[in-house]
Amino acid sequence: HFNAPSHVRRVIMSAPLSKELREKYGVRSCPIRVDDEVTVATGRAKGNSGRVVKCYRKKFVIHIDKVQREKANGTTVNIGIHPSNVIITKLKLNDDRR
């Protein structure tokens, strides 16, 4: 899947839905997108929640607004997290996603 084009990477970068959303929509997982609300389920940022600010399809990671670390020069950068390690708690619904 490392040679996959962007439209295929979108599907690979799916994240599981929370229990409430799973019952509401009858779907277990969904491709992640900017402005979804997520909670980190595994890894060093476990327990943090926030809004997705970037989906980096080339590196298969997402950036969440409150999951950051400080660099040596003092600037803060977002930590890249794989979508399988987060749980979607609120979907951004627009016309093509309803």
Amino acid residing at 56: Y
Residue with tokens 């943090």: 48
- The pLDDT confidence band at residue 98, using thresholds 50, 70 and 90, is low
Domain ranges of the chain: 6-92
pLDDT value at 52 more than 80: yes
- The CATH number of the structural domain formed by 6-92 is 2.30.30.30
- Record the tokens describing residue 9, joined without a space: 């990477």
* C-beta of residue 86 within 8 angstroms of C-beta of residue 39: yes
Which pLDDT does position 95 carry in this prediction? 75
pLDDT value at 93 more than 90: no
Q: What mean pLDDT is predicted for residues 84-91?
A: 94
Averaged pLDDT score across all residues of the chain: 92
pTM score, two decimals?
A: 0.88
Sign of CA dihedral 28, 20, 90, 79: negative
What phi, psi does 51 have (nearest 5°)? -100, 140
Alpha carbons 97 and 48: distance in angstroms, whole number: 25
